[in-house]
């Protein structure tokens, strides 16, 4: 199996079983990380070592945060469902009005097939591409639509599509993001940013969300546990101040 891990033989790789593919994938995570560590060790000075040790020391508390999660007020959750449902209806009406003016029918913002036909065939906009699993494919994801917004007539439609998608995602999280104990959890990345801030995403069970990016309205459903309080520290300019000092 060791030979397979570093093999460039595409036929050998293609014939691997599912379990073997998982084995190779996980083994590469370990092997490549170890090789990288050996290469960068000579570059680590005393300050880098301090940061590295601090990040490692955070693993325990952060894991506890991820496992514990946060309590949710179910009444507020229901009100938010109603709010975002109404928002989705209004945004879909705006999108359909714009789409009907272009091709005479509604547009499903979450259908890549329809979006490709709408923007690239009916509007004649330049195709945007992305690489997925080593293949170059036509895309209408967020990055692609943000590039298409430079076109005057496409901008309002792109904005409407993105707004509908965002609202649908928020609704999905509100409705399905809770675990069985009615708490919401996120996965934190300790060393994923240049400035040392945590990154976050859906948890390992596929529920929750990137809670750090939630708008204030959605945060209303998260409440402190009995006997606890939430505190908010405004560090909006902290990163820019840090960079100016450096």
pLDDT at position 242 is 46
pLDDT at position 181 is 92
pLDDT at position 90 is 97
Positions of the chain with pLDDT lower than 50, given as ranges = 1-2, 5, 241-246
Q: What is the model's pTM? A: 0.69
Instruction: Assign 3-class secondary structure to the chain.
Output: CHHHHCCCCHHHHHCCCHHHHHHHHHHHHHHHHHHHHHHHHHHCCHHHHHHHHHHHHCHHHHHHHHHHCEEECHHHHHHHHHHHHHHHHHHHHHHHHHHHHHHCCCCCCCCHHHHHHHHHHHCCCCCCEEEECCEEEECCCHHHHHHHCCCCCCHHHHHHHHHHHHHHHHHHHHHHCCCCCCEECCEEECCCCCCCCCEEECCCCCCCCCHHHCCHHHHCCEECCCCCCCCCCCCCCHHHHHHHHC
pLDDT at position 47 is 65
pLDDT at position 197 is 81
| pLDDT tens digits along 212-246 | 888 889 999 999 999 999 887 776 666 554 444 33
């Amino acid at each position: 199996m060791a030979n397979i891990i570093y093999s460039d033989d595409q036929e050998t790789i293609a014939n691997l079983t599912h379990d073997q593919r998982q084995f190779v994938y996980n083994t590469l995570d370990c092997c490549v990380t170890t090789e990288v560590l050996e290469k960068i060790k000579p570059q680590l000075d005393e300050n880098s070592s301090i940061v590295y040790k601090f990040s490692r020391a955070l693993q325990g508390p952060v894991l506890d945060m991820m496992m514990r999660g946060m309590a949710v007020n179910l009444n507020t959750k229901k009100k938010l469902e109603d709010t975002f449902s109404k928002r989705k209806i209004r945004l879909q009406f705006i999108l359909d009005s714009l789409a009907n003016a272009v091709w005479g029918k509604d547009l499903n913002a979450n259908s890549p097939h329809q979006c490709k036909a709408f923007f690239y065939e009916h509007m004649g906009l330049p195709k945007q591409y992305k690489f997925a699993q080593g293949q170059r494919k036509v895309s209408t994801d967020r990055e692609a639509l943000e590039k298409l917004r430079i076109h005057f007539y496409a901008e309002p439609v792109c904005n409407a599509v993105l707004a509908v998608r965002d609202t649908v995602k928020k609704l999905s999280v509100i409705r399905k993001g809770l675990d069985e104990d009615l708490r919401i959890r996120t996965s934190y990345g300790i060393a994923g940013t240049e400035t040392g801030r945590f990154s976050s995403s859906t948890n390992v069970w596929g529920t929750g969300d990137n809670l750090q990016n939630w708008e204030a309205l959605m945060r209303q459903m998260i409440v402190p546990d009995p006997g606890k309080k939430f505190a908010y520290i405004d560090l909006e300019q902290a990163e820019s101040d840090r960079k100016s000092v450096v």
